[in-house]
């Protein structure tokens, strides 16, 4: 039986050290015994969590870099969307949202600040909780504030199709991952040898949408699962593609992810949502980078129900929604790691006192680095 290495943290993480050593041996071989370096980006907060938790960067050869890209939906939720939720709370309506949205800072404060001022902002653990809140308070308007990637979108779509209570509406900050990968590559200001694509998003969208990156951009792609050895294997698979000069769209997570994705979930998604150009915090507008509720379900869209798009404040979203001194726009784009931010180094920004959005969510790169003291430059 192979030796099992256990790295303990709050939850504990287990993986087979023998298999990891074999993968690392293969990686060295694919890098021509270390003569060639490798720079890969993942776009997934869960991948970043596993990488930091398992200490993967410290296991890799010095000339292999794994960069965290825009993979945290809470971090990239635009301040305009947070502002809309605050407007609704100030109007006396009930806001129901997931816990990590509460502390996301904006020019007008956070939802937690609004709650402290006596506004009705409630943490929910599922959309069902928001539905129940609406049923329990039939004379109130309840708004479910939803931020997420494609993994979460079918759940929102199913809830809309199920016919929610008439006093429930949806304020959506839903993003799609391939358009932002496209934007990153088209900007050309980041040198990459390959992308690790997220296993959970890919269970919904499949691997076909990544073909364009291998075909048009000649960028190696590997869709990976969430065990440390899944990620190590994905890195080695990218190194092999680079060695062979054959960029491909490979799937390391075959048992879970199909090339066509989850057809039923995609049908739900396309029935309820249209692709739209939306603002990603720290990045700006991303063409087709998000989803809007279709007009036929407009009565459930908080934007339409409360005329939110006409209630703007020109100061919102300036500097891409990034607070002064915060480098989240560079962290989100993979241009620097958290340790390069002076506020991270000085500990002025920390999980108890987050200055930027990347320090709030469990999927935020700065928060993860702070929890595991992970230096991405290693």
**Nearest distance from C-beta of residue 136 to ligand SF4, angstroms:** 36
- Which residues 324-363 are close enough to bind ligand SF4 by CB under 6 A? 326-328, 331, 338, 341, 343-344, 349, 355-356, 358-359
229 binds ligand SF4 (CB under 6 A): no
What is the nearest approach in angstroms of ligand SF4 to the Cβ of residue 344? 3
Per-residue binder mask for ligand SF4 (CB under 6 A), 170-209, x = binder: ----------------------------------------
Asked if residue 154 binds ligand SF4 (CB under 6 A), the reply is no
Closest CA to 267 of 128, 154, 114: 154
- Helix, strand or coil, per DSSP, at residue 288: strand
Of 38 and 331, CB closest to ligand SF4: 331
104 Rama class: left (phi>0) / alpha (psi -120 to 50) / beta: beta
Query: Which positions from 275 through 334 interact with ligand SF4, judged by CB under 6 A?
Result: 326-328, 331
How far, in Å, CA of 317 to CA of 312, rounded?
Answer: 11
Q: If binding means CB under 6 A, how many residues of this protein chain bind ligand SF4?
A: 14
Q: Which of 49, 366, 368, 374 binds ligand SF4 (CB under 6 A)?
A: 366
Q: Is 115 exposed, middle or buried (0-12, 13-18, 19+ CB in 10 A)?
A: middle
Eight-state DSSP code of residue 277 = E
Which is closer to ligand SF4, CB of 94 or CB of 341? 341
Helices (H), the chain: 17-30, 45-54, 56-59, 79-90, 99-102, 111-116, 127-136, 153-161, 177-187, 199-205, 211-215, 228-244, 263-272, 302-305, 328-332, 342-345, 365-372
Closest distance between ligand SF4 and the C-beta of residue 340, in Å?
Answer: 9
Which residues of the shown chain bind ligand SF4 in the complex (CB under 6 A)?
326-328, 331, 338, 341, 343-344, 349, 355-356, 358-359, 366
């Amino acid at each position: 039986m192979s030796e099992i290495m256990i790295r303990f943290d709050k939850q504990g993480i287990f993986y087979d050290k023998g298999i990891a050593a074999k993968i690392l041996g293969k990686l060295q071989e694919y890098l021509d015994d270390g003569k060639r370096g490798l720079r890969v980006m993942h776009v997934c907060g869960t991948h970043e969590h596993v990488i930091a938790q398992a200490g993967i960067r410290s296991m890799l050869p010095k000339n292999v870099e794994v960069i965290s890209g825009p993979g945290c939906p809470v971090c990239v939720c635009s301040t305009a969307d947070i502002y809309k939720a605050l407007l609704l709370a100030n109007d006396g309506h009930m806001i129901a949202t997931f816990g990590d949205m509460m502390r996301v800072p904006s020019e007008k404060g956070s939802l937690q600040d609004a709650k402290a001022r006596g506004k009705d902002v409630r943490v929910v653990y599922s959309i069902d909780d928001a539905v129940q809140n609406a049923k329990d308070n039939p004379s109130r308007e309840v708004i479910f504030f939803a931020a997420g990637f494609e993994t979460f979108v079918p759940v929102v779509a199913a809830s809309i199709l199920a016919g929610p209570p008439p006093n429930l509406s949806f304020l959506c900050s839903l993003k799609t991952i391939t358009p932002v990968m496209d934007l990153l590559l088209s900007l050309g200001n980041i040198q990459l040898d390959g992308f690790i694509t997220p296993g959970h998003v890919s269970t919904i969208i499949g691997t076909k949408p990544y073909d364009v990156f291998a075909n048009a951009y000649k960028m190696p792609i590997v869709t990976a699962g969430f065990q440390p050895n899944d990620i190590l294997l994905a890195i080695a698979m990218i190194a092999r593609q680079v060695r062979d000069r054959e960029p491909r769209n490979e799937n390391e997570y075959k048992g879970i992810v199909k090339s066509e994705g989850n057809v039923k979930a995609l049908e739900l998604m396309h029935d309820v949502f249209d692709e739209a150009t939306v603002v990603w915090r720290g990045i700006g507008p991303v063409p087709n980078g998000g989803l809007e509720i279709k007009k036929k379900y407009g009565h459930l869209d908080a934007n339409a129900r409360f005329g939110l798009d006409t209630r703007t404040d020109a100061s919102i979203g300036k500097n891409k929604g990034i607070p002064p001194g915060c480098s989240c726009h560079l962290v989100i784009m993979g241009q620097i790691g958290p340790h390069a931010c002076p506020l991270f180094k000085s500990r002025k920004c920390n999980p108890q006192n987050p200055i930027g959005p990347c320090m709030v969510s469990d999927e935020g790169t700065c928060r993860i680095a702070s929890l595991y003291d992970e230096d991405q430059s290693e």
